[in-house]
Amino acid sequence: MNSLKKNFNRFLIMLKIEMLLAFRHGDMILFGIVMPVSIMMLIGAIGDSKTVAENFAGVASVGICAAGLMGIPLTVASYRHEKILKRFQATPVSPLILLVSITALQTLFAWVSGVGVYLTARFMFGMSLEGGGWRYMMTFVFVQFSIYSIGFLIAALVPDIKKANMVCVIVYFPMLFLSGATVPYNILPRGVQVFSDLFPLTQGIKMLRGAVYGLEFDGDIPRFALLTIIAFVAYLISIKTFRWE
Amino acid sequence: MDVEPGNTKDHCDLINKGGNKVVDAVNVRNLCKSYDDKSALRGFDLTVKKGEIFGLLGHNGAGKTTAVECMLGIRKKNAGSIKLLGLDPVIDRRSLFQRVGVQFQHTGFQDKIRVEECCRLSASLYDNTADWMELLEKFRLIDKKRQTVSDLSGGEKQKLAVVQALIGKPELLFLDELTTGLDPEARRDVWEYLKELRGNGVSIVLTSHFMDEVEYLCDNVVVLKQGKTVVYGEPEKLINVYGKRNLDELFLSLMKDNQGDAA
């Protein structure tokens, strides 16, 4: 019990320091929080409440995308590159606790982003979650869990920080623009939609839309199964191939 | 202790006057490590007694850092046994590193992290900690505590790495090229502090390319060449045995030829 308390205190100190560092860098604040809230405002300003509801799920997932596909892999790859994980190996605490604090911070970013986008849509443009708050929140966390697995997979497989940057750009931007997160899926040409359907985030956004509109969950079962399998395989490979150095 | 090149037998576990077994700070036997088909360490033995400063010498690529990292359990050994303070560095990692401090050759810090945050983070990892403000004061970094680490000079970063290694009040300290980048005054400060630590019973394993530093600080040294021990003993006695003026001269002569190669 005492050791659990000590480890929790360590985790809190690490989380606090990671948070301070993230604020000093500012990129997660900008791309994970300010950008999605601004996009929501823009959509609300040029469209009506129906447009806001249609695009809400996509915009709410921008924070997940930024945290999972940029924040996690780039932080882990840079900590490995800078030999910070190696330094932690020569202390009484597992480097795992540092990874947990990085994940917790990225989770917080995605949640703050999600809440910010919701409050904008709800109070500025009168949108409501027809499927209920709980279903939406559960779906959000599930999609987040699934997308983060891809971030961990990248972090585990990339040989160095340069490759990590390259892979993140290749994975992040197509998902950001073609999955319905920033550019509405409905206005994409049919061929691009077929390509977009290959992205896990596209399936995640479709699940979130189902939760927003309160659609039957049956239609989401294949997506749920697909994202679960992706997450399972990605986490498994990440654990098996992870290197501290 | 007689000086016998390559002989480490007389360093084995000691029996104190009361008859209790005194556990060595470091006990390494027949350590072998290779990278692909290249041998980095070939049957490396090392014993460091409690309260001893031990120097690990050799040219670049001789296997010093590999030896240190294998001892710490960070690199997987191919063969041999390693005990630090009587514990296995892999199996007993958590309890062992409560008592062991490490300064790596290249210490990485998070981007934009401040000196005080670094210390606070390190202090959170240990059960018993030294006052890190005092350590910053001692290493003349107290005025820099609010600065980001990236704004420190190379020497200041090196001193911060040593402070990090000392925060957990270690009984055994590994310092890999500790004074590289330090100005002469800072080097002297660090030397005096290490002597003070030794006086308090802390064992220290250091690697260095500065022979004056090794001669001044170390009770015993081992010289490695291509992963093998060339000589092992007290610096002063080694200098006399080989008829050299100083350790620098001895080191250079050992690196030139195979004189004194371990059997």
Residue A244 has pLDDT above 90, yes or no: no
Tens digit of pLDDT for each residue in A121-154? Answer: 999 999 999 989 999 999 999 999 999 999 999 9
Q: Which two tokens stand for residue A244?
A: 């501290």
pLDDT-based confidence at residue B17 (cuts at 50, 70, 90): very low
Query: Are A123 and A52 within 8 A, CB to CB?
Result: no
Helix-, strand-, coil-residue percentages of chain A, each rounded to 5: 85, 0, 15
CB contact under 8 A, A87 and B98: no
Backbone angles phi, psi at B92, to 5 degrees: -100, 30
Residue B3 has pLDDT above 90, yes or no: no
Query: Are B199 and B187 within 8 A, CB to CB?
Result: no
Residue B4 has pLDDT above 60, yes or no: no
Residue of A nearest to B74 (CA): A89
pLDDT at position B36, please? Answer: 85
CB contact under 8 A, A90 and B108: no
- For the purposes of burial, counting CB atoms within 10 Å of the CB of A20, is it exposed (0-12), middle (13-18) or buried (19 or more)? middle
Q: Which two tokens stand for residue A35?
A: 């950008």
B142 domain residue, yes or no: yes
B155 domain residue, yes or no: yes
Distance (Å) from the alpha carbon of A239 to chain B's nearest alpha carbon: 18
Mutation for A interface: B110, B116, B160, B163, most A CBs within 10 A: B110
Q: Which residues are paired to B233 by β-bridges?
A: B221
- Looking at per-residue pLDDT, the higher value among B39 and B14 belongs to B39
The C-alpha atoms of residue A152 and residue A169 are separated, in whole angstroms, by: 15
Tell me what the pLDDT averaged over chain B comes to. Answer: 87
Residue of A nearest to B118 (CA): A17
**CA distances from residue A54 to A50, A119, A182, A215 in whole angstroms, order as listed:** 6, 16, 12, 13
A113-117, A156-160, A180-184 — which one is most confidently predicted on average?
A: A113-117
A82 to chain B, any CB pair closer than 8 A? The answer is: yes
Domain count, chain B: 1
Contacts of B125 in chain A (CB under 8 A): 10, 88, 91-93
pLDDT at position B263, please? Answer: 31
B107 domain residue, yes or no: yes
CB contact under 8 A, A13 and B120: yes
Distance (Å) from the alpha carbon of A7 to chain B's nearest alpha carbon: 8
Q: What is the ipTM of this complex?
A: 0.84
Are β-strands B228-233 and B220-225 bridged in parallel, bridged antiparallel, or unpaired? antiparallel
Length of chain B: 263
Average of pLDDT values for A84-107?
Answer: 89
The C-alpha atoms of residue B157 and residue B179 are separated, in whole angstroms, by: 11
Residue A23: other Cβ atoms inside 10 A: 11
CB contact under 8 A, B168 and A92: yes
pLDDT at position B135, please? Answer: 95
Distance (Å) from the alpha carbon of A15 to chain B's nearest alpha carbon: 10
Which residue among A21, A25, A92 places its CB closest to the CB of B97?
A: A92
Range of the domain at B120: 103-169
Tens digit of pLDDT for each residue in A40-88? Answer: 999 999 988 899 999 999 999 999 999 999 999 999 999 999 999 889 9
Tens digit of pLDDT for each residue in B237-246? Answer: 999 999 999 9
Distance (Å) from the alpha carbon of B100 to chain A's nearest alpha carbon: 8
Q: Which two tokens stand for residue B256?
A: 């030139």
pLDDT-based confidence at residue B16 (cuts at 50, 70, 90): very low
Q: Outline where DSSP puts E strands in chain B.
A: 14-15, 21-22, 26-35, 38-48, 53-57, 79-84, 100-103, 172-176, 203-207, 220-225, 228-233
Residues whose CB is less than 8 angstroms from the CB of residue B86 and which lie 6 or more positions away in sequence, other chains included: B23, B24, B27
Tell me what the pLDDT averaged over chain A comes to. Answer: 92
| Distance of alpha carbon B59 from the chain centroid | 16
Residues whose CB is less than 8 angstroms from the CB of residue A244 and which lie 6 or more positions away in sequence, other chains included: A80, A85, A86, A88, A89, A95
Angle of CA points B156, B158, B161, to nearest 5°: 110
pLDDT at position B10, please? Answer: 40
One-character DSSP codes across B53-88: EEEEE-STTSSHHHHHHHHTTSS--SEEEEEETTB-
Q: Which residues are paired to B34 by β-bridges?
A: B39
pLDDT-based confidence at residue B6 (cuts at 50, 70, 90): very low
Which residue among B74, B107, B174 places its CB closest to the CB of A89?
A: B74
Residues whose CB is less than 8 angstroms from the CB of residue A91 and which lie 6 or more positions away in sequence, other chains included: B97, B102, B122, B125, B126, B168
Contacts of B68 in chain A (CB under 8 A): none
Residue of B nearest to A86 (CA): B74
Tens digit of pLDDT for each residue in B104-131? Answer: 988 889 999 999 999 999 999 999 999 9
Q: Is the dihedral of CA B73, B81, B126, B94 positive or negative?
A: positive
Domain count, chain A: 1
* Of the candidates B152, B174, B109, B63, the residue with the CA atom closest to the CA atom of residue A81: B109
pLDDT at position B166, please? Answer: 95
Residue of B nearest to A95 (CA): B125
Query: Are A210 and A143 within 8 A, CB to CB?
Result: no
Which residue among B72, B73, B124 places its CB closest to the CB of A10?
A: B124
Query: Are A84 and B109 within 8 A, CB to CB?
Result: yes
CB contact under 8 A, B124 and A25: no
Average of pLDDT values for B84-100?
Answer: 95
Which residue among B106, B110, B121 places its CB closest to the CB of A13?
A: B121
pTM (2 decimals)? Answer: 0.84
Packing angle, helices A49-60 and A35-46, rounded to 10:
160
Range of the domain at A43: 2-241
The C-alpha atoms of residue B86 and residue B80 are separated, in whole angstroms, by: 15
Distance (Å) from the alpha carbon of B172 to chain A's nearest alpha carbon: 12
The C-alpha atoms of residue A240 and residue A69 are separated, in whole angstroms, by: 20
The C-alpha atoms of residue A235 and residue A238 are separated, in whole angstroms, by: 5
The type of residue at B142 is I
